[in-house]
Chain A
Amino acid sequence: MTGLYLSYTFDWSVVPKSFEFLLRGLGITLRITVLSIIFSLALGLIVALVRMAPGPLGMLGFAYIQVFRALSLYVYILFAYFGIAAAFHIDLDPITAGVVSLTLLNSAYMAEIYRSAIQAIDPGQREAARSLGLGSITTFGNVVFPQAWRIALPSLVNQFTDIIKDSSIVAVIGTPDLMYQTIERVSFYQRPFEFYTTVGAIYLLLVLIVAQVASRLEKRLRRHLA
Chain B
Amino acid sequence: MILLAYQFDWSVVTDRWQLFVAGAWIDLWVATIGFALACAIGLVNALLRTSGLPFLSVPSFVYVQVTRGIPLYVLLLWVYFGVANITGITFTNFQAIVIALALTGSGYTTEIFRAGLGAIERGQMEAARSIGLSRVHTYQHVILPQAFRIVVPPLGNTFVGLLKGATIMALIAVPDMVFLANELNVTLFTPFEVFAAVALILVVMVLFFSAIVYVLERRLRIG
Q: Which residues of A contact B (CB under 8 A)?
A: 1-6, 8, 10, 66-67, 69-72, 74-76, 78-79, 82-89, 161, 164-166, 168-169, 171-172, 179, 183, 186, 191-197, 199-200, 203-204, 207-208, 211
Pick the contact of A70: B3, B6, B203 (CB < 8 A): B203
With both chains docked as a complex, state the minimum distance between the C-beta of A35 and any C-beta of chain B, in angstroms: 18
Contact of A82 with B73 in the complex, beta carbons under 8 Å: no
Contact of B78 with A3 in the complex, beta carbons under 8 Å: no
Contact of B71 with A71 in the complex, beta carbons under 8 Å: no
- Give residues of chain B (46-80) contacting chain A, Cβ–Cβ below 8 Å: 65-66, 68-75, 77-78
B134 interface residue per 8 A CB criterion:
no
Count of A-B residue pairs with CB < 8 Å? 147
Q: Which of chain B's residues have a CB closer than 8 A to the CB of A5?
A: 87-88
With both chains docked as a complex, state the minimum distance between the C-beta of A220 and any C-beta of chain B, in angstroms: 22
Secondary structure class of chain B's binding surface, majority of residues: helix
Other A-B pairs beyond A192-B82, A196-B82, 10, CB < 8 Å: A69-B206, A71-B164, A72-B168, A75-B202, A78-B198, A85-B191, A87-B192, A191-B85, A192-B77, A197-B82
A5 vs B85: C-alpha distance when bound (angstroms)? 10
A1 vs B185: C-alpha distance when bound (angstroms)? 34
B196 interface residue per 8 A CB criterion:
yes
B199 interface residue per 8 A CB criterion:
yes
Instruction: Bits for B193-216, please: 1 = Cβ < 8 Å to A, else 0.
Output: 111101100110011001000000
